Amino acid sequence: MYMAELRVPRDPMYVGLVRLVVAQAARLAGVPQDRVEDVKIAVAEALANGSDRDDELGASPPVEVRFGRGTAGFEVTVRGLSQPPPATADDDVVDPAIDQLDPKLRFTLIEGLTDEFSREQDGDLMRLRFVVGVT
């Protein structure tokens, strides 16, 4: 079970890079091309988790991505800041200019695109793990 690990600053600039490297690793691990597309989106969603926090970027811990062929298939774990708790139950508080979907949709997407998905809160951090089958 060989795992690679990538640690990048919490900055949208790096999201494309992470997508690229995890997609390539998925291909090497034997994930078929249409599922590689699923991996790319799932990775993007996992990295976007917490991206709506207004913490200073520089002050944030880096995002950690572990990936590689595991026993269940191609496994990815993303550890980073979790999304902020909803400020209030009133939906109207969300600024419509922000154009964001319900952040929970990110989990719906990861779940819909992968074969196995779990998440774990750890204080301010969240660990998202998903698996896509290999041929």
Partner 1 sequence: MELTLEHRTEGDTTVLDVAGEVDVYTAPKLREKLVELVSDGHYDLIVDMTKVEFLDSTGLGVLVGGLKRVRSHNGSLELVCNQERILKIFRITGLTKVFPIHDTLEEALS
- Strand 116-122 vs strand 125-132: parallel, antiparallel, or unpaired? antiparallel
Residue 11 binds its own copies, judged by CB under 8 A: yes
Distance of alpha carbon 18 from alpha carbon 44, whole angstroms: 8
Distance of alpha carbon 22 from alpha carbon 63, whole angstroms: 14
- Positions in 48-77 near its own copies (CB under 8 A): 62
Residue pointed to by tokens 């979790």: 82
From the list ligand ADP, its own copies, partner 1, none, pick the one residue 19 interacts with, judged by a Cβ distance below 5 to 8 Å according to partner type.
Answer: partner 1
Interface mask toward ligand ADP for 92-111; x: CB under 6 A: ---------xx--x------
Give the number of residues in contact with ligand ADP, rule: CB under 6 A. Answer: 3
* SS3 state at 121: strand
**Which segment (37-45, 56-64, 85-93, 114-122) binds partner 1 by CB under 8 A?**
37-45
Distance of alpha carbon 63 from alpha carbon 11, whole angstroms: 9
Distance of alpha carbon 115 from alpha carbon 77, whole angstroms: 14
Between 71 and 90, CB nearer to partner 1: 90
For its own copies, the binding residues (CB under 8 A) are 2-9, 11, 13-14, 16-17, 20-21, 24-25, 28, 62
